Amino acid sequence: MISYEPLFKTMKQKKITTYDLIDKKGFSRATYYHSIKKGKHINTSTICQLCELLECEVQDIIQFVKL
């Protein structure tokens, strides 16, 4: 299972709010609320976009969790 908990921690560490990510940095509101917040899958281009926007690495966005 993929967890987005690292994304939320990274945002908190960098003091980037959901508002900042969506309205100031231009990230998709639908992707954030309908996929990420609900734990659904996102594609690799979205992960790349998040890494660029947050200036971080993939492991700062997602984590594999064994069930």
pLDDT above 90: residue 29 = yes
Q: What is the pLDDT of residues 39-65, one digit of tens each?
A: 999 999 999 999 999 999 999 999 999
| pLDDT score of 67 | 86
Residue-wise pLDDT for 12-28, tens only, equals: 999 999 999 999 999 99
Domain ranges for the chain, please list them: 2-64
Q: Is 2-64 a domain of CATH 1.10.155?
A: no
What mean pLDDT is predicted for residues 23-40? 96
User: Count of CB atoms within 10 A of residue 52's CB?
Assistant: 10
pTM for this prediction: 0.92
Place of tokens 């998040």: 50
Q: Pick the closest to residue 41 from 1, 13, 5 (CA basis).
A: 1
On the question of pLDDT at 3 being above 90, the answer is yes
